[in-house]
Amino acid sequence: MGGTRAVALLALGSFAVGTDAYAMAGLLPAVAADLDVSVPLAGQSVTAFTLCYALAAPLFSAVLARRGTRTVIVTALVVFAVANAGSALAESYAGLLGSRALAGAGAGLFTPAAATAAVALVPPERRGRALGLVLGGMSAGTVLGVPLGLFVAADSGWRAALWLITGLGLVALLGVATALPAVRGAAAPALRARLGALTRPKVAVVVAVTFTQTVAGLGLYTYLEPVLHRVADVGSTVPYLWVWGIGGVCGSLLAGTLVDRTGKPALLAGTLLGTLGAALALLPWAGAVPGLVLVPLLVWGAVGWAFVVPQQHRLLAGEGDGGAAVGLNSSATYLGGAVGSALGGLALAHGLDARWLPLPAAGVACAGVLFHLTVARRVARRDTGPGPHLPDDVTHGGGAADATAAEPLERNTP
C-alpha cells in the first residue's frame, strides 16, 4: 500500500509538470498584455522552459543521483514549486523568463527520476502499471490540467493559473517528502553517455527525425492561441486545447499496440510524421467550415504523442546502451520544442500572420519525412541487427523516456 500511495503522489507531480509544460501556451496573450511585451516575445518564456527541461537531466541528474533518487525528486519538486511561484509573482519580462527557465529545470529533473522510482517501488508484475500511472499523469495534465488552468486564468488572471500549478507541486512535494522511501534505480544517463550515443549512425538519424518532429509540433503548439484566433476567430481556446490533449492520450495509448501488430516501427514513425505534416498544412484553411478545425487538432495531438513510441522502440531494440539512446532522444524532443518556439516567435515578430504559421511547421515535418525516407533508411539497411523485443509498456511521454534506462523495467515489465 505504501508503494501505491507513493506512486500516486509521483503521478500528481507529473500532472503538475504536464499542466505547467502545456498551459503556458494558452496564457501568452494575457502574459504579454500584463508585462507589456509582444506575444512572440512572451512565447520565448516557453522556449526557456523547454530548453532547460531538455538540458536539466543530462547536466545534473548524474551528480544528484549519487544522493539517491528520492533526493533528486524532492530537489526537483522544490525547484519546480519555487520557480512557478516566482513566475506568478514576476513583475518584469526578465523575471518571468528566469523563473520559467528554473521551472523547466525542475520539471526536467523530476520526470525521469519519478518514473525510475515508480518501477522500484512496486513488485515486478506491477511495474508496467506503475510506470503508466506516473507517465499518464503528464498526459492527464494536457487533458484536464491545461483546461482547468485556463478556466482559472479566465476568471482570476494568468497569475492565478500559475499559483494553481504551484499548489499542485507543493502538495506533491509534501506527500513525497513524507511518504516516499529511499529507492534505488538507474540514474538517467549523463551528458557524456548521451552524446556518445550520437556516434552510432542508427541512433543519430532516429534522434534527428525526432528533433524535426518536435520543432514542428511542439514549436507550433506554443502559439496555438494566436493561430486559432486567426484561423477560426475562436473565443476561448480551452475546448480546442482539450481536443488536442484527448488526441494525445489516444495516440499514446494506441501507438504501442500498432508497433506490436505491424512489427515495423520505422514505417510507423514515418507515417505518423507525414500525417502530422498534412494536419498542420490543413490548419490555416480549417476555419472555413464551422468545427472543421477540431479535426487537424485531434490528429495533430494523436500523432504527435504517438510518434515517440516507435522511435523509442527503434532505439531500445538496437545495439549498445539503449538507456543513453532514449535519454538523448528525450533531450532532442524538448530541444526541438525550444527551437520551434524560438523560430515561431521570430516569424511572428517579423510580420508573419499567425494564420500561416502552421505552414512552415508543416514544411519542417515534411523535411523530416524526406530525411527519414532517404538518409535514415539507408543507414538502417547498412546498420541492421536483431535486438530484444521491447514491451508495450515503455514510456509514452517525452522527458520520461529516461526511465527506460532502469534495468528492472527492461527485464520485468509484463
Check whether residue 157 and residue 276 sit in a common domain: no
Which CATH number goes with the domain that contains 85? 1.20.1250.20
* Residue 20: C-alpha distances to residues 15, 139, 310, 402 (Å): 9, 12, 26, 20
For residue 411, is it within any domain?
no
Residues 83 and 100: beta-carbon distance below 8 Å: yes
- In whole numbers, what is the pLDDT of the chain averaged over residues? 83
Cell numbers representing residue 260 in the block: 506490436
| 59-90 tens-digit pLDDT | 776 666 677 788 889 999 999 999 999 999 99
Reported as type and span, the H/E element at residue 286 is none
Percent above pLDDT 90 for the chain: 45
Reported as type and span, the H/E element at residue 36 is none
Local confidence band at 321 (pLDDT 50, 70, 90 cut-offs): low
Is the pLDDT score of 131 beyond 80? no
Q: Indicate the pTM of the whole model.
A: 0.80
Higher pLDDT, 197 or 308: 308
Domain boundary among 144, 167, 188: 188
Is the pLDDT score of 111 beyond 50? yes
**Domain coverage including residue 343:** 189-405
Ranking 6-10, 202-206, 255-259 by mean pLDDT, the lowest is: 255-259
* Separation between Cα atoms, residue 399 and residue 396, nearest integer Å: 9
| 35-63 tens-digit pLDDT | 999 999 999 999 999 999 988 877 776 66
Give the number of other Cβ atoms within 10 Å of residue 344's Cβ.
29
* Residue 187: C-alpha distances to residues 173, 178, 193, 319, 371 (Å): 20, 22, 12, 20, 32
Check whether residue 162 and residue 201 sit in a common domain: no
* Separation between Cα atoms, residue 279 and residue 359, nearest integer Å: 10
Check whether residue 233 and residue 359 sit in a common domain: yes
* Separation between Cα atoms, residue 226 and residue 345, nearest integer Å: 11
* Residue 331: C-alpha distances to residues 9, 66, 189, 326, 353 (Å): 25, 21, 11, 9, 30
* Separation between Cα atoms, residue 84 and residue 105, nearest integer Å: 11
Number of independent structural domains in the chain:
2
* Separation between Cα atoms, residue 71 and residue 60, nearest integer Å: 12
